[in-house]
Amino acid sequence: MNQLITTARQYLASGISVTLTDNRKVSLLNWKDFQSRLATEDELQSKADKAQGIAIICGAISGNLEVIDIDTKYDLTGKLFDNLMVFLGELADLLVIARTKSGGYHLYYRCDTVQGNQKLARRPVSEAEAADNPHVKVMVLIETRGEGGYIVAPPTDGYSWIHNDWQDIQTITTEQRDAIFEICRSFNEYLEEPLILKKSDAESGFGVSPIDDFNSRGDVLALLQKHGWTKVRNSCDRTYLRRPGKEDGISGDFLHAKRWFSVFTTSSQFEPTKAYYPSAVYAVLECNGDFNEAVKRLAADGYGEDISTHNRKKILDNFIKKLRENNHDDDDIETILIREKNLKPKQAKKAVQDSYKMTEPSGAFWSRNDKDKLEINKAKLIEFLVNNGFYLMAYDANGNDMRLINVKDFMIEESSIEKVKKCIINYVKTIDQEVEDWIMNRPNLINEAFLEFLPKIEPKLLEDTKTTAYFPFINKIVKITKDGIELVDYGDIKKHIWRSAKIDYEIEIEKILFGDEFRIDPEMDVYAQFIRLICNENTDRWFAVNTHIGYLLHKYKDPTLAVAVILAEETDNDAKGGGTGKGIFVKAIGELVKGETIDGKNFKLDKSFAFQRVGLDTRILAIQDIRAKVDFEGFYSIITEGITVEKKGQAEIFINYDRSPKIIFTTNYMVPNIGNHAKRRQRVIPFSDFFSPERTPMDVFKHQFFAGWDKGQWKLFYNYLFACCQYYLRKGLIEVPVTEGMQLKSLKTAFGEEFKKWWVDFIADGLNVEHEFKVLYNSFLSASEMPEHEYSRKRFRKGLDTASTMFGLEIKHHNHGPIGGRMVSFIKNASVNV
């Protein structure tokens, strides 16, 4: 431990800002302070006993220090670092290099140009990784730590310097930094698919767009060479190129299969690591980014097919179709085409072959009349929709309230007219341009009146019962009772499942709940550790909060437990509110249960479409950041009876209590809870002030929650939530112990800040003594500087009664004062800590 402090002093003496960390790489001090100043000796010594490592803070405070982080654990080749060193060549000699505990590397340098953290090279997840962790799409191979970042450094356990002296970190030029970045970006394997650019006005006259035509057959490599780019080498799937004005190295590549071009350099007209279609390359290089001009010039070069040619083909196809309907065989048709349409023999033969594309496909819901005009066959259209899974489902006991649904392979989801139209359009796009245009010109083809002809079904839904909870995953369904957790095959269930309820993860069961004890590893079970921290590491609170998590996950609505879960903050200082982790709590529930969130700041119960985001499959409704002194009574009906949902363009629907979502409120304030009606409908989870805007979960755990978790972390997370659900089924909903901070916050909400302050001062020495009520009242008015008409005696007395009950005091009122006035005494309950 002395070595850490000694080295920290050496770093500081060399102008490098540092902080001390625990064994999870989490700073023990508020490291953001050290982005603008160096830590003091007293600050270091205050955490010396707990320190397990040192982190160097990058950026201007450390002399414009920047570090490149090479994460070899995600390197599938095993050669990433060695190849990078080869490509860097002499540039590597300018760098100070450290080896990390995980086998990666940190490259240190200083530069006049330093930016924030950047990702330089990524790769798509492998099939095995995707199967293990479907939530992750990419792995980061190389990234930087610059302004606003820090990096764990030697002599932290597992870290060591391996190249050059850290006390002689060199300042490289901006050009050298750019060259290093280009080389690092050359290892990038992940590009997001280019956006499909909006059709330009200049394309309106084409049947086949010049842009699309050039994308498919344009020689983009010749175009790049024309503008000074040089081919460096070819591999089986790509060509590497060097930018104009550069004498060595590589600056970009062209992926042959996808026909994507991308660059690694910032010294070109193109954005680094962004994919460009050939037409975009043409527009950038030839037309200064003007796509309208690119269309015109590509058309002049022979790309695209004009609309007249496109239309002539359709007319010819219809002519051939009529001949075939009049029993002419293909040889006759070719002869007629040569004679009447002046086609050459080869053209006639090709036209006959192409005309077979006009044959109406299986599943077509249209036909042609005697005048060769397209007509809808409504019966076949209904049949088409049913074949694509569209039905009506009753959603009330009497079967009167019907909702459009889509069912495929026992998966069910609520649907809409827009989704029906999209299904039809996607189908006709594969058939024929004429049919597509004809359908697109009939926006009223599908309406509510027509959809009433769809057949009605009553699917048997997989639903939680009072004693059982189900969670469908890719491979199995998790079944939870108070006695155990097991995996069940889909074939054994044979019930419909809401598509939104199926979780895109291959689950495995790991036992976490042993008897009534949770066994967690604080190093690995990061979400369980997060819950312990918001509970201020109080075991009783933690167990109670676990039952609340289980209650929210259990989708059964017990009519005897009609409550809202309120995520509040323990501090009674509203100015310090926010950032305590409530959003992470809500999002975690949403990883297992379909939920919707509503912004509570501007929410109004009587507003039209207030709950339009709520669907038939919604099981959690989170109203976030509700205002101070919200009218909680206004929510009684949705908590205890059900919810009315009105969506634009649809009739409103009432979702009964048993199928309505459970309610979560989040707030920086305190929801009014004075009175039995309010208390009966509330279950409050007080969040400690461990997390705050100054110490975020990101600071503590070093990554965003859920993003970037590996399979092991997701497995522990899901299994911890399963254990919470089982614990709830076993124990019921245990009320979270009320903290003094929450008591004071409730008192302030009900009776004002002035009364709360007076009460705190009063109970310090006013117990077990008889007081004249009038004297107490006047002392309150004096302390609060408030006239009597602004705070009535009646309200003050109610405040005394409420505060006494809240703080475990027995209050007695008498009428035998010195002059017959009312007297009050407060008796402390020995079992209550006031």
Mean pLDDT (10-residue bins), the chain, 834 residues: 87 94 88 92 91 94 96 89 90 95 94 90 84 79 92 94 93 92 89 59 57 84 93 80 86 86 88 88 89 85 64 70 80 87 84 65 70 79 88 71 84 90 84 78 84 87 95 94 93 86 91 88 86 92 95 95 90 67 94 91 79 90 83 85 82 86 87 66 89 87 81 92 96 86 76 84 73 85 85 86 80 63 70 40
Q: Which DSSP letter does residue 495 get?
A: S
Pinpoint the alpha helices (H) of 192-326: 210-217, 220-226, 278-287, 291-300, 307-325
What pLDDT was estimated at residue 820?
46
The CATH fold assigned to 519-731 is Rossmann fold (3.40.50)
What pLDDT was estimated at residue 226?
93
Cβ distance 694 to 594 under 8 Å? no
What pLDDT was estimated at residue 484?
93
What pLDDT was estimated at residue 157?
92
Cβ distance 480 to 729 under 8 Å? yes
List phi, psi (to 5°) of 316. Answer: -65, -40
Cβ distance 38 to 68 under 8 Å? no
CA distance 27 to 37: 16
**Which distant-in-sequence residues (6+ apart) come within 8 Å of 293 by Cβ?**
202, 283, 287
User: Residue type for 83, please?
Assistant: N
The structure tokens listed for 516 are: 């009534």
Cβ distance 687 to 568 under 8 Å? yes
The structure tokens listed for 486 are: 């097991």
**Omega before residue 155 within 30° of 0, cis:** yes
| Domain range annotation of the chain | 2-185, 201-303, 306-358, 366-457, 519-731, 752-828
SS (HEC) of 208-243: ECHHHHHHHHCCHHHHHHHCCCEEEEECCCEEEEEC
What pLDDT was estimated at residue 564?
93
What pLDDT was estimated at residue 572?
61
The structure tokens listed for 76 are: 């599938």
User: Residue type for 277, please?
Assistant: Y
Q: Name which of 50, 33, 46 is nearest 695 in CA terms.
A: 33
CA distance 751 to 760: 13
Tell me which CATH code domain 752-828 carries. 3.90.1150
CA distance 31 to 41: 14
Q: Name which of 255, 248, 275, 256 is nearest 194 in CA terms.
A: 275
What pLDDT was estimated at residue 201?
47
Exposure class string for 286-308: b at 16+ Cβ within 10 A, else e: bbeeebeebbbbbbeeebbbeee
> Given the DSSP bridges, would you call strands 252-255 and 238-242 parallel, antiparallel or unpaired?
antiparallel
What pLDDT was estimated at residue 674?
58
Cβ distance 667 to 674 under 8 Å? no
Instruction: Decide yes or no: CATH 3.30.2250 for domain 2-185.
Output: yes
User: What is the SS3 assignment for 284?
Assistant: helix
CA distance 659 to 396: 10
Instruction: Decide yes or no: CATH 3.90.580.10 for domain 201-303.
Output: yes
